Amino acid sequence: MPKFRLEISSMRSVNDLRARLGMNNTKRKTSMKKTGLALLLASLLMGCGANGDSSSAAAIGAKTSLLAATLQFFTGGAEVKTYAAARLLDHASFGPTDAAIADVKARGIEGWIDHQFVLPASQIDASFTEDWDSNTTPGVLGRPYYELFPRAFMALMLSGDDQLRLRTTFALSQFIVITDAKIQSFGTTQYFNLLQDHAFGNFADLLRAVATSPSMGVFLDNNQNKKEGVCDSCSINENFARELMQLFTLGVTRLNKDGSVQRDAAGKLIETYTQDDVQGMARALTGWDTVWNPLGKRNGFYRLPMVAQWVDSHDTGEKKLLGKTIAAGGTAEQDLDSVIAILMAHPNIAPHLSLRMIQHLVTSDPSPAYLSRVASVFENNGSGVRGDMKALVRAILLDPEARRGDDASVQERTIGKVREPVLHFSAKLRGIQCRTALSDSSGNMYGVNNQQPFNATSVFSFYSPTYRAAGSNLLAPEQKLLISQEFSARLGGLSWIANSVPQNLSSAGCKLDEFVTALATSKRAFLNLASARYFRGSMPPPLRDSAESLVDQLSWMGPTEKAATMIQFLLFSPAFGVIK
């Protein structure tokens, strides 16, 4: 991974590295051998590059055999190995845990997915912020109200039972976006709850709920979208209509079912929609507004769906959009139903949504065949139903290409994604069995600064889904977040808390002491535990060798800080940083 190598080469001194690890230079002048650690890190990371070309006849033959073996795995009831169970959890949860691995092995992969589908949706109760009037409103653990959602979402990531639903909701939130920067905290929790409720339903119902969500209405201004001229300040607002097509459902370019782009006779890309389509859709979506101040609660309007209470503010004229006509005379509710029906019938929605969900769950650059198979399931779940989200998620997770790497001996070359900041962070804390949000010495939540859930900087989320890795043609959207700030965060934080406020680890339910005990027993015991928790039991030998050498150079550290530092070191490697 070029950016991992670049980060190491940019460290100008071991003092810089020590600072990134959360080390205090003035207290530790008798620290490790400087050159030794730098060389260890550099050699480790530079040894974890690409695995070579997979286009040879031998590789193709091997892939065919793996495909057959994978299909036999799902039809023959074979025992689920620990490696396969952990790998599924990398795709379908916020990180493997011992208990989750045991559950997958006991139920089988399909059985675990089916069980996750029937678990009740976790919800966040933010009712105490429904009537807030200042930033001093009581919060969680004595913190301000606006920390409620980040702390509650963190607790669900770490210990929520409905992991597959939560992971699906997080995926949806990254392209059907609202942001806490504009929406009051109570509205953010209500939008999260909405996505949770609809994550495993029908996509048409999800779209209807999103379109009438007061949180979305405020964020993309559809609560201000009124018929032109119905009042002095009333006008058409196109924000929601445009993003509903561009980001949420169709994309900007016409696609084939396998995700390949369509071109006209001159070779130009064919656009999915025009400005006229945006205007037609915006007119069809006029007239919606929040239910203001229900029950006297200042922010209570976030609790209830928007309504078309001012009838005259809806444009009842004929609308033309995406090659379809919505007849004149319809109500706001009827026109919304027409909009959703048009979007759901559009040929772009299946490949567009399938690609986004595959990227967030399994792999950044799926093959055309993989994408086509999943899109076909969106179009028809096998019972003639279009838009079945359970069927879509199942197809993504059980596709032979997704599961062929479940054999630990397979060197997967075409399936994988960079572990984005949230997934890196959650897997790290789930590996030490944390149950709730972890606080630092100032009481601030230890979390992700580079990808705060439900708080993207804009409607375009944290990165472009079309971003390609530098120097290649491979889609690698999450790699866009691998900046210096992110590397610094991965090399520090946990060890700082372990050194300064170790009691906070216990308060959050973390069991770092298991690693401390293992390290006190032997280096091998520690690395075996780390391998089981973070590397599916298959830590690469070069990484293990480098870690053994590093342990000897951290003798000046206390046992808890040393264990945390070693975990950070191991998880900084591309072996963990890329989900294969």
Are 342 and 244 spatial neighbours (Cβ–Cβ below 8 Å)? no
Q: Does the residue 481 lie in any domain?
A: yes
Beta strand segments in 174-323, E: 319-321
Q: Does the residue 61 lie in any domain?
A: no
Whether the per-residue pLDDT at 113 is higher than 60: the answer is yes
Q: Which of 50-54, 351-355, 484-488 has the lowest mean pLDDT?
A: 50-54
> What are the b/e assignments for 167-180, b being 16+ CB within 10 Å?
bbbbbbbbbbbbbb
pLDDT in tens, 207-243: 999 999 999 999 999 999 999 999 988 999 999 999 9
Q: Does the residue 226 lie in any domain?
A: yes
Last residue of a domain, one of 298, 322, 347: 347
**Taking residues 172-187, what's their average pLDDT?**
92
β-pair type (324-326, 445-446) = unpaired
Q: Using 50, 70 and 90 to split pLDDT, how confident is the model at 141?
A: very low
Last residue of a domain, one of 387, 406, 425: 406
Higher per-residue pLDDT: 421 or 46: 421
Residues 313, 358 share a domain: no
Q: How many DSSP H helices and E strands does the chain contain?
A: 28, 6
Residues 436, 337 share a domain: no
The residues pairing with 319 across neighbouring beta strands, listed in sequence order, are: 326
pLDDT in tens, 414-433: 899 999 999 999 999 999 99
Residues 428, 342 share a domain: no
Distance CA 355, CA 396 (A): 10
Which pLDDT belongs to residue 515? 98
Give the highest mean pLDDT range of 72-76, 259-263, 447-451.
259-263
Are 530 and 566 spatial neighbours (Cβ–Cβ below 8 Å)? yes
Nearest Cα to 315, choosing from 295, 335, 299?
Answer: 335
Q: Does the residue 559 lie in any domain?
A: yes
Residue 326 gets which letter from DSSP? E
Mention every residue, 6+ apart, whose C-beta is less than 8 A from residue 299.
129, 130, 131, 132, 184, 186, 187
Higher per-residue pLDDT: 475 or 118: 118
Which pLDDT belongs to residue 10? 35
Q: Give me the phi and psi of 492, to 5 degrees please.
A: -140, -165
Beta strand segments in 260-410, E: 319-321, 324-326
Residues 225, 195 share a domain: no
The residues pairing with 417 across neighbouring beta strands, listed in sequence order, are: 579
Q: Does the residue 320 lie in any domain?
A: yes
Distance CA 122, CA 222 (A): 28
Which pLDDT belongs to residue 133? 57
Q: Using 50, 70 and 90 to split pLDDT, how confident is the model at 75?
A: very low
Distance CA 106, CA 100 (A): 10
DSSP-based three-state secondary structure for 289: strand
Q: Does the residue 109 lie in any domain?
A: yes
Distance CA 315, CA 288 (A): 11
Mean of pLDDT over the chain = 86
Which pLDDT belongs to residue 464? 87
Q: Does the residue 60 lie in any domain?
A: no
Distance CA 386, CA 392 (A): 10
Residues 427, 338 share a domain: no
> What are the b/e assignments for 332-364, b being 16+ CB within 10 Å?
bebbbebbbebbbebbbbbbbbbbbbbbbbbbb
Residues 427, 562 share a domain: yes
If you count them, how many residues does the chain have? 580
**Taking residues 101-129, what's their average pLDDT?**
95
Q: Does the residue 58 lie in any domain?
A: no
Higher per-residue pLDDT: 548 or 14: 548
Q: Give me the phi and psi of 271, to 5 degrees please.
A: -75, 145
Residues 527, 561 share a domain: yes
Higher per-residue pLDDT: 417 or 3: 417
DSSP string, 164-197: HHHHHHHHHHTTS--BTTTS-HHHHHHHHHHHHH
Whether the per-residue pLDDT at 162 is higher than 70: the answer is yes
Whether the per-residue pLDDT at 1 is higher than 90: the answer is no
Distance CA 561, CA 577 (A): 22
The domain containing residue 456 runs over which residues? 2-49+416-579
pLDDT in tens, 242-295: 999 999 999 999 999 999 999 999 999 999 999 999 999 999 999 999 987 766
Number of compact structural domains in the chain? 4
Neighbours of 398 (CB within 10 A): 15
Whether the per-residue pLDDT at 54 is higher than 70: the answer is no
Residues 381, 339 share a domain: no
Which pLDDT belongs to residue 349? 98
Are 361 and 91 spatial neighbours (Cβ–Cβ below 8 Å)? yes
Nearest Cα to 364, choosing from 482, 196, 530?
Answer: 482
What is the pTM assigned to this prediction?
Answer: 0.86
Which pLDDT belongs to residue 294? 67
Residues 566, 493 share a domain: yes
Residues 539, 422 share a domain: yes
Distance CA 406, CA 426 (A): 22
Nearest Cα to 460, choosing from 179, 254, 42?
Answer: 179
Last residue of a domain, one of 169, 201, 233: 201
Residues 223, 136 share a domain: no
Nearest Cα to 404, choosing from 393, 415, 396, 395?
Answer: 415
Q: What share of the chain is helix, strand, coil (3-state, %, to 5)?
A: 55, 5, 40
Residues 251, 194 share a domain: no
